[in-house]
């Protein structure tokens, strides 16, 4: 089934699914197992303990759910809220839009705060709404930490501050799909009530695990939340946690061993070093975009995303053609512009287990593609700008010193 074979490696620079390191591929290369033997609970126990570290929480309860990010969203919402509940949600791009669509279809009363695509969540509006909401009709704030469609990172600390300023009890629900384990995220410090990610993002696994972490307050809320849920019900998980068998239904043992390997790699590199690496790759990409004379879709530096850069193309170019050409000529996978920015931006994902030289290969490829499609780029310019920064920033590999 390699009917699209091209020589050499595929250069995977979509912001998820991301490259899987060989260590993880090896860990998953295995037969099925009886998940009711003592081995899988023992493994699961370490995973639940360790996965909390990537959320920077000690008090949270993690759920490793055989689903995707979309399912993780549904798990976060239905376990903590009841139909009709008022929630404030920020529409800033395609993924926040999809989450809001889900919120509405799940019958919540969604108070949508919209920003222009390329801008962050309007936290001033949030502050007003919270200030006005003396009766605490707002039950939850739902926010995408990093909007993957536009490369915008929201300031979660500020959200917390707003809630604290008004001692507002709303739950704080965060989509960290393209941020957690790559961009600084602090569940406990920021008082996040539910945070979630997917295995195919910064964890660098295949798709298949929605990882959701709930604060004690969220767990408490789940006891009275009236939204209907069965497959996504935390209650079933908690019951099996208590039994020590952990799984209400069959997990993928391959993904569990893969997650073990992923966490081991993360702890070996160090979570803060990983965040620093993503910051470095993000900056290098932005410097290249600037050198090419192109605009970042993200309108202000405070929102720059370290995991994905959406690049605005001149109006005479169709960004979808860039993505097509990348794949057809250079074996390079870039992200399309979605919805409102379709045709206008293409996206470079710099997320997951990826290093500087991989990114530079991608940037060199983008330069050639830009030329292919008629943009007068100076070949080498973006790579030069990125290298000038990287050559001063890349650390030695600790295990090799």
Scanning residues 29 to 48, which ones bind a copy of itself (CB under 8 A)? 29-39, 42-43
Binds a copy of itself by CB under 8 A, chosen from 140, 142, 202, 253: 253
Q: Which residues contact 373 (CB under 8 A, 6 or more apart)?
A: 317, 318, 321, 322, 325
* Sequence-ordered strand ranges (E) for 145-300: 146-147, 152-153, 171-175, 194-198, 210-214, 295-296
Specify the stretch interacting with a copy of itself by CB under 8 A; choose among 135-143, 164-172, 187-195, 268-276.
268-276
Instruction: For residues 32 and 9, give the distance between their C-alpha atoms in angstroms, rounded to a whole number.
Output: 29
CA distance 351 to 183: 10
What does the alpha-carbon distance between residue 93 and residue 71 come to, in Å, rounded to a whole number? Answer: 19
Annotated binding-site residue numbers: 347
Residue ranges in 185-214 that form contacts with a copy of itself under rule CB under 8 A: 198, 200, 206-208
Size of the site for a copy of itself (CB under 8 A): 119
Percentage helix, strand, coil for the chain under 3-state DSSP, each rounded to 5: 40, 15, 40
| Identified binder of a copy of itself from the candidate list 52, 56, 139, 277, rule CB under 8 A | 277
Under the criterion CB under 8 A, does residue 6 sit at the interface with a copy of itself? yes
Specify whether the CB–CB gap between 345 and 312 falls below 8 A: yes
Q: How far is the CB of 351 from a copy of itself (least distance, A)?
A: 11
Both tokens of 200, joined, read: 């195919």
Query: Interface with a copy of itself includes 25 (CB under 8 A)?
Result: yes
Query: Please, what is the minimum distance in Å from the beta carbon of residue 192 to a copy of itself?
Result: 22
Among 45, 226, 300, 378, binds a copy of itself (CB under 8 A): 378
Q: Is 230 a binder of a copy of itself (CB under 8 A)?
A: yes
Query: Structure tokens of 383?
Result: 């790579």
Q: Is the dihedral of CA 363, 369, 373, 375 positive or negative?
A: positive
Tell me: does residue 243 bind a copy of itself (CB under 8 A).
no
E-assigned strand segments in 176-240? 194-198, 210-214
In angstroms, what is the minimal distance from the CB of 21 to a copy of itself?
8
Which alpha helices (H) appear in 244-298, and where do they start and end? 253-269, 271-291
Q: Which is nearer to a copy of itself, 113 or 284 (CB)?
A: 284
The residue written with tokens 């689903």 in the block is 67
Site for a copy of itself in 60-99 (CB under 8 A): 66-71, 74
Asked if 375 touches a copy of itself (CB under 8 A), the answer is no
Please check whether residue 297 is in contact with residue 117, taking contact to mean a CB–CB distance below 8 angstroms: yes
State how far the Cα of 317 lies from the Cα of 321, in Å rounded to an integer: 8
- If the CB atoms of residues 263 and 312 are measured against a copy of itself, the closer one turns out to be 263
Q: Which of 173, 183, 336, 341 binds a copy of itself (CB under 8 A)?
A: 336
- Residue 367 engages a copy of itself in binding (rule: CB under 8 A): yes
Does the footprint of a copy of itself cover residue 18 (CB under 8 A)? yes
Q: Is 12 in the site for a copy of itself (CB under 8 A)?
A: yes
Binding-site residues for substrate:
347
List 50, 293, 358, 375, residue binding a copy of itself (CB under 8 A): 358
Q: Is 226 in the site for a copy of itself (CB under 8 A)?
A: no
């Amino acid at each position: 089934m390699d009917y699209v074979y091209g020589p050499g490696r595929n250069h995977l620079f979509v912001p998820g699914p991301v490259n899987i390191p060989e260590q993880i591929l090896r860990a998953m290369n295995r037969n099925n197992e009886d998940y009711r033997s003592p081995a899988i609970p023992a493994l699961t126990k370490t995973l639940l303990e360790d996965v909390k570290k990537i959320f920077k929480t000690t008090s949270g309860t993690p759920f490793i759910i055989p689903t995707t990010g979309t399912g993780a969203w549904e798990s976060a919402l239905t376990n903590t809220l009841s139909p009709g509940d008022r929630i404030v949600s920020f529409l800033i791009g395609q993924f926040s839009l999809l989450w809001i669509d889900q919120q509405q279809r799940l019958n919540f009363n969604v108070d949508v705060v919209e920003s222009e695509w390329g801008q962050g969540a309007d936290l001033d509006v949030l502050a007003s709404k919270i200030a006005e909401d003396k009766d605490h009709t707002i039950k939850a704030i739902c926010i995408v930490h990093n909007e993957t469609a536009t490369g915008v990172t929201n300031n979660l600390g500020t959200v917390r501050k707003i809630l604290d300023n008004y001692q507002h009890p709303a739950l704080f629900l965060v989509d960290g799909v393209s941020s957690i384990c790559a961009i600084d995220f602090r569940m406990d410090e920021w008082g996040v009530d539910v945070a979630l990610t997917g295995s195919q993002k910064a964890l660098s696994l295949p798709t298949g695990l929605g990882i959701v972490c709930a604060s004690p307050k969220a767990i408490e809320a789940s006891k009275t939340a009236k939204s209907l849920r069965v497959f996504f019900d935390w209650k079933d998980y908690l019951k099996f946690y208590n039994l020590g068998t952990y799984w209400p239904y069959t997990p993928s043992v391959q993904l569990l061993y893969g997650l073990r390997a992923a966490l081991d790699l993360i702890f070996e590199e160090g979570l803060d070093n990983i965040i620093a690496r993503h910051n470095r790759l993000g900056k290098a990409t932005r410097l290249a975009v600037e050198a090419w004379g192109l605009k970042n879709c993200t309108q202000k530096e405070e929102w720059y995303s370290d995991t994905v850069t959406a690049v605005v193309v001149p109006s005479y170019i169709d960004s979808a053609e860039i993505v097509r050409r990348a794949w057809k000529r250079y074996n390079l996978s870039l992200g399309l512009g979605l919805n409102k920015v379709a045709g206008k931006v293409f996206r470079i994902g710099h997320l997951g287990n990826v290093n500087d030289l991989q990114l530079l290969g991608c940037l060199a490829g983008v330069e050639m593609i830009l030329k292919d499609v008629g943009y007068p780029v100076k070949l080498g310019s973006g790579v030069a700008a990125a290298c000038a920064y990287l050559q001063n920033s890349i650390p030695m590999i600790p295990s090799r010193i």
